[in-house]
């Protein structure tokens, strides 16, 4: 019987299993999780013939290396990076035939933060609440990859896409995040509201899957004190006591007590997943539809 499995040779700085996530469980205190750069994950799945919701590997900065125990098709996308097969360069952003026992090495990101590795059949770990995603906040799903971990793979699906290289957006040189007013924008002074959408921020090195933290001008509150904990949504821009905005990403907490000054358009969040520390950030106010 064919051994449909994937052995981890080099886990990298932070590599997790991700799919479309588990939305709809906030009332249980469970974040949605899922791939931070959803379009990149969906594209590599399509390149290897998987459905969009198949589980992939999401790497952070320095990639990973894996060895399949049966012949598979693999595609790497998201942050551009060198990819080698048994030491020989192979295509990034295209389906690659990987024989059983061969070593596929996904190198460090040349730009951007997160690369995505899709394997034909998908990573077939046991789902939790309908998702195979690793949730770093709640601990649901499989633990982040470690050297020597072996993951099961699902059955091969449809024939992979026959392309040379699939076009993908470049990681942002400047991150422009469209925002609508949040439920607690009245907790900030008029000067703070103007500064939020007119001053430049930068991506902080402290950013992670929970939130994109920023460095820049502190936003002054118009009232003291703290809020009782209230529900948080994907893209909420929460302002902690230091006054620097934090954009909530896929592993964000479902409740929080710091005021939400704005909410980022969901369409802009994949770019946030690829913004390296130091990337300029600009919040652009738009009208609610």
pTM of the model: 0.94
Residue 48's domain comprises 5-152
Q: Cα torsion for 192, 196, 198, 199, to the nearest 10°?
A: 90
Report yes or no on 141 lying in a domain: yes
26 band by pLDDT with thresholds 50, 70 and 90? confident
My answer on whether 219 and 119 are in the same domain is no
Q: Do residues 144 and 179 both lie within one domain?
A: no
The residue among 95, 121, 152 that closes a domain is 152
Which H helix or E strand runs over 46?
helix 38-47
The residue assigned the tokens 């399509």 is 46
pLDDT digits (tens, 9 = 90+) for 57-82: 999 999 999 999 999 999 999 999 99
Query: What DSSP string describes 183-222?
Result: TTGGGB-HHHHHHHHHS-EEE-TT--SSEEEEESPPPPBS
Are residue 19 and residue 148 in the same domain, yes or no? yes
Mean pLDDT value of segment 2-13: 93
What per-residue confidence (pLDDT) applies to 158?
62
C-alpha distances in Å from residue 65, one per residue of 6, 44, 179, 192, 267: 10, 17, 38, 46, 31
Query: Judging by beta carbons within 10 Å of its beta carbon (0-12, 13-18, 19+), is residue 56 exposed, middle or buried?
Result: buried
In a domain, 166, yes or no: no
In a domain, 160, yes or no: no
Q: What are phi and psi of 111, to 5 degrees?
A: -155, 160
Residues 144 and 33 both lie in one domain:
yes
Whether 159 is in a domain gets the answer: no
Domain count, the chain: 2
pLDDT recorded at residue 1: 40
């Amino acid at each position: 019987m064919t051994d449909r499995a994937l052995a981890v040779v080099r886990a990298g700085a932070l590599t997790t299993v991700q799919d479309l996530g588990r939305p709809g469980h906030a009332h249980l205190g469970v974040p949605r999780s899922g791939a931070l750069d959803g379009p990149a994950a969906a594209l590599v799945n399509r390149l290897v013939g998987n459905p969009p919701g198949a589980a992939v590997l999401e790497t952070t900065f320095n990639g990973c290396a894996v060895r399949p125990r049966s012949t598979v098709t693999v595609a790497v996308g998201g942050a551009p990076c060198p990819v080698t097969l048994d030491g020989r360069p192979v295509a990034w952003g295209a389906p690659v035939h990987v024989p059983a026992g061969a070593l596929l090495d996904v190198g460090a990101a040349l730009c951007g933060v997160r690369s995505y590795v899709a394997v034909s059949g998908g990573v077939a770990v046991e789902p939790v609440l309908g998702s195979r995603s690793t949730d770093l906040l709640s601990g649901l799903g499989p633990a982040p990859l470690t050297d020597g971990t072996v993951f099961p793979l699902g059955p091969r699906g449809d024939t992979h896409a026959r392309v040379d290289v699939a076009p993908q957006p470049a990681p942002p040189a400047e991150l422009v995040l469209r925002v609508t007013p949040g439920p607690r924008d009245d907790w900030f002074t008029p000067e703070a509201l103007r500064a939020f959408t007119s001053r430049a921020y930068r991506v902080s090195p402290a950013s992670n899957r929970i939130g994109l933290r920023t460095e820049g001008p502190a936003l002054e509150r118009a009232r003291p004190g703290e809020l009782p904990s209230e529900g948080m949504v994907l893209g909420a821009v929460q302002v902690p006591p230091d006054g620097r905005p934090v954009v909530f990403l896929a592993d964000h907490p479902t409740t929080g007590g710091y005021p939400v000054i704005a909410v980022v358009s969901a369409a802009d969040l994949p770019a946030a997943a690829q913004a390296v520390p130091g990337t300029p950030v600009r919040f652009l106010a738009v009208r609610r539809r």
